[in-house]
């Protein structure tokens, strides 16, 4: 039993080492596939961070009529905070809005002179509302459009900001889907390339297979080396993918952390090293064996 297994592994290794050109192409495609799939896992931290940043910059503002009292505004703020979709509410008084405007445009004398000529504070008090998700603003706006609030609310700027909010929602909805579709396409390509490699190996070994049949070799003994070859291709592809991923995260980590403080890709990689390695190993060997099984069933009738 052990002697047969040793011979099967030896034969699979020799077949792997002899067919260098097609093996290299196979490993290249499989490395791309493994890297793409594991990148979905590794960079989900990045995508989650970026999506959170984008969503954090999106909000809607509720502007109140000039004569609305602060007491009425704060009363409505309490109701808004109770909405499950609302993450945060910030009250900006007329005076705070005036101060923010003058600070932002203090170097523009034309605007400052125009503001002085008005003679009164023209700014409206407002509530800046943030939702947990971009898709939740619609329900918040429906609450604010209640007829009971018509006498105090001047306008809600949701419809002016709606295109931006919809783009953020589209990004959050499609980012992971696109990555999954891309990975599936690469996986299919990798299986096809590996399938072709095993098919060529079977063709090149046709005389040896005939001799094995004549001497009464078992089906497992004939098929085994091709399964081993597929597994070896997957194993080396996984190792190479791990090295490439380590290098990329190490190179990009300082630059990414400069842009997004607290986001360290290399620390994420090292802290999840064994999980990432097992995922890549499973994907690599799995793709190799699956493609070998398909090729054997198609071209090796024993």
Which tens digits make up the pLDDT trace of 121-135?
888 888 898 888 777
pTM of the model: 0.54
Do 174 and 290 belong to one domain?
yes
Do 182 and 270 belong to one domain?
yes
Domain final residue pick, 136, 161, 186: 161
Q: What pLDDT score does 204 carry?
A: 61
Position 18 pLDDT exceeds 60: no
Higher-pLDDT residue of 229, 76 = 76
Q: What pLDDT score does 284 carry?
A: 79
Which tens digits make up the pLDDT trace of 193-229?
666 766 666 666 566 656 655 565 556 666 667 677 7
Domain final residue pick, 97, 131, 161: 161
Do 31 and 88 belong to one domain?
no
DSSP secondary structure string for all residues of the chain: -HHHHHHHHHHHHHHHHH-HHHHHHHHHHHHHHHHHHHHHHHTHHHHHHHHHHHHHH--EEEEE-TT--HHHHHHHHHHHHTSTTEEEEEEE-HHHHHHHHHHHTTT-HHHHHHHHHH-S--PPPEEEEEESSGGGHHHHHHHHT-GGGTTTEEEETHHHHHHHHHHHHHHHHHHHHHHHHHHHHHHHHHHHHHHHHHHHHHHHTHHHHHHHHHTT--HHHHHHHHHHHHHHHHHHHHHHHHHHHHHHHHHHHHHHHHHSTT--HHHHHHHTHHHHHHHHHHHHHHHHHHHHHHHHHHH---
Do 74 and 138 belong to one domain?
yes
Which residues form the domain of 37?
2-52+169-299
Position 270 pLDDT exceeds 80: yes
CATH number, domain of 132, equals 3.30.70.3040
Do 188 and 150 belong to one domain?
no
Domain final residue pick, 120, 135, 161: 161
Do 7 and 148 belong to one domain?
no
Position 11 pLDDT exceeds 70: no
Question: What's the total number of domains in the chain?
Answer: 2
């Amino acid at each position: 039993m052990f002697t047969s297994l040793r011979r099967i592994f030896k034969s699979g290794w020799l077949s792997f080492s002899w067919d260098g050109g097609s093996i290299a192409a196979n490993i290249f495609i499989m490395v791309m596939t493994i890297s793409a799939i594991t990148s979905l896992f590794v960079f989900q931290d990045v995508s989650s961070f970026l999506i959170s940043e984008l969503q954090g910059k999106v909000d809607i503002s509720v502007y109140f009529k000039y004569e609305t009292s602060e007491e009425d505004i704060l009363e409505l703020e309490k109701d808004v905070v109770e909405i499950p979709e609302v993450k945060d509410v910030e009250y900006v008084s007329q005076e705070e809005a005036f101060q923010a405007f003058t600070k932002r445009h203090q170097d523009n004398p034309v605007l400052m002179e125009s503001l002085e000529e008005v003679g009164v504070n023209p700014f409206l008090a407002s509530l800046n509302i943030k939702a947990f998700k971009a898709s939740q603003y619609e329900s918040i706006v429906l609450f604010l459009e209640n007829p009971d609030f018509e006498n105090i609310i001047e306008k809600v700027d949701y419809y002016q900001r709606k295109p931006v909010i919809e783009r953020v929602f589209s990004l959050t909805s499609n980012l992971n889907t696109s990555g999954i579709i891309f990975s599936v396409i690469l996986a299919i390509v990798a299986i096809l390339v590996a399938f072709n490699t095993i098919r060529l190996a079977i063709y090149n070994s046709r005389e040896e297979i005939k001799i094995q049949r004549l001497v009464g070799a078992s089906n497992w003994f004939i098929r085994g080396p091709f399964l081993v070859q597929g597994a070896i291709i997957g194993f080396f592809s996984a190792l190479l993918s791990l090295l490439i991923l380590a290098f990329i995260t190490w190179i990009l980590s300082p630059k990414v952390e400069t842009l997004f403080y607290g986001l360290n890709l290399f620390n994420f990689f090292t802290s999840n090293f064994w999980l990432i390695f097992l995922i890549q190993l499973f994907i690599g060997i799995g793709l190799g064996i699956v493609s070998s099984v398909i090729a054997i069933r198609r071209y090796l009738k024993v």
